[in-house]
Amino acid sequence: MFGICGGSGAGKTTLTRRLLERLDEHEVSVLAFDAYYRDLSHLPFDERRRGNFDHPDSLDSGLFLHHLDSLRQGLDVDVPIYDFATHTHSGRFERVEAARLLLVEGILLLAFEEVLERLDYSIFMDVPEEVRLQRRIRRDMIERGRPEDHVRRQFAATVAPMHDAYVQPSRHRADRIMGIAEADQLADELMALLPAAVPATAR
């Protein structure tokens, strides 16, 4: 289990994609902590939008840990597909198959001691706030249909404060801290690192 952690907009998903391009698709699977946001369908939409999605309590860590353990035991899991536009569960699921190498990514990955204990190796992508903000604006406008002013307000109200409170302090728990760089360069560095990071029993 190889953990990829860092703040919102640090480039975790992009790096994961670059690694997948370099790995045998039959030997690797991906599990994203972001898929485990709690369903807010019981709340009015305006209230959902005001939610703090960067606090650890926003995630169903129990289900996430259960799925990590299942995958470790060689059992496939069905991950709920979260609708980020409405902040609700879509009612659909994505099958994640157990594989020799599991890439686990998430903002708060290293903030949970129980998650950290299950990772064989982890990296923290330490990227400046302004870079992360600009990347988040582009992503949320294109992929999640959110206006720029809303993205900026959310970033200032919850993303940045929670990053300072929970995400950045967890960086020291990572086996390696990586600064800003092109995704391809980081992926090449990690590919050279993977043989040493992955336990022999998993290879």
167 and 7 Cβ atoms separated by less than 8 Å:
yes
pLDDT tens track for 126-168: 999 999 999 999 988 988 788 999 899 989 999 999 999 999 9
Residue 45: the pLDDT is: 85
Domain membership flag for residue 152: yes
Domain membership flag for residue 200: no
Print the domain residue range for 117.
2-195
pLDDT tens track for 8-24: 999 999 999 999 999 98
Give strand pairing partners of 123.
4, 176
Residue 192: the pLDDT is: 83
Domain membership flag for residue 186: yes
Domain membership flag for residue 203: no
Taking the C-alpha atoms of residue 158 and residue 161, their distance in angstroms, rounded to an integer, is 5
Domain membership flag for residue 99: yes
Place of tokens 């992503």: 139
Which domain CATH number covers 62? 3.40.50.300
Domain membership flag for residue 187: yes
Provide the number of structural domains found in the chain: 1
Phi-psi region of 114 (alpha: psi -120 to 50; beta: other; left: phi over 0): alpha
81 and 89 Cβ atoms separated by less than 8 Å:
yes
Domain membership flag for residue 201: no
pLDDT cut 70: percent of the chain above it: 96
Residue 202: the pLDDT is: 47
The two tokens of residue 158 are 């919850």
Mean pLDDT of all residues in 62-66: 97
Q: Is the pLDDT confidence value at 4 over 80?
A: yes
Q: What is the pTM of this model?
A: 0.86
Q: Is the pLDDT confidence value at 114 over 60?
A: yes
